[in-house]
Amino acid sequence: MKKTNALAISVSVLALAGASMLVACGDDTVGTPLPDSGTSGTSGTSGTSGTSGASHDGGADATVDGGGSAPDATVDGSTAPDASADGGDAGDAGDAAAFPAPPALGVEIDRFGRPAVNTALDHTFDSNATTKGAAKDAYNANGDAGSWVASYTSQFEANLAIYDSLDTTDAGTGCGNQPFFGAADAGAGAYATLAGLLADDRLWFNAGTPSCTQYLGVELVATGALKAADGGIPAECGGRTPSMDVIQTTYSIVSGVGLTGFGSGVAAVPAKTSQVTTFPYFQVISQ
């Protein structure tokens, strides 16, 4: 069997052969100002009518008194602007109570973590679709990050063992070349390091460097799987940008072929990937 053909094995086939593969790989606020309420003052010095100021004249003094555009400080003889003489926007403080309360949140239905982890590693090869779906929904609803590694590592180990066999050819087994494979460990425990890393399902970002070229960059640097050309520590921010083929990277790593090489068969849409160059990566897309 050619290597390229082995990498193209469908998940449906893997589901049927999952048990045997496990053995082969180590048996996975704005208010409305109050109306002008200037206190009664002396007769208008600028207006033609010369009437005394009223407690509520129904509009700006410049109109009622005929005093042009002069503020109350001139028309009413006051030395303070309307904000003090009239009370200003004192009613604004009470407007906040008029805003509706935020809606009550329901059960969390998804995580904004690494894509494909739940899909690829959580009860993926279970034969019972009902229990498999329930397990994936429970994973998405689990907001307790402190529990993730303990809760999912063993499940991920078993499925990583299946993916590790994907690059098997007629020349030999592909088992054991997955990153962090622990040859000294027995069974699925040999995949504990990568399983634990992926179970901590968060996007990690190093704000100390502007270079963001590798998906899972922070994790790969921290574990020594990603090195600079000179063998040192690369300046890599990690995270995820639109141009990163995150699915290809994920499946390449878990199958043991490297950081690339396991093609997804899906072409990138430039307007949504390479042409989006500024954070926060929002761009109007023409349909």
Tell me how crowded residue 101 is: count the other CB atoms within 10 A of its CB: 5
Question: What confidence score (pLDDT) does residue 236 get?
Answer: 92
Q: Where are the domains of the chain?
A: 3-25+115-200+256-264
pLDDT digits (tens, 9 = 90+) for 28-52: 444 434 444 444 444 444 444 444 4
Give DSSP secondary structure letters for 20-65.
HHHHHTT----PPPPPP-PPP-SBPSS-SS-PBPPS--SS-HHHHS
Rounded-to-integer distance, Cα 8 and Cα 161, Å: 17
Which amino acid, 126? D
Look up the pTM and report it: 0.61
Mean per-residue pLDDT, 246-253: 91
pLDDT digits (tens, 9 = 90+) for 123-132: 999 999 999 9
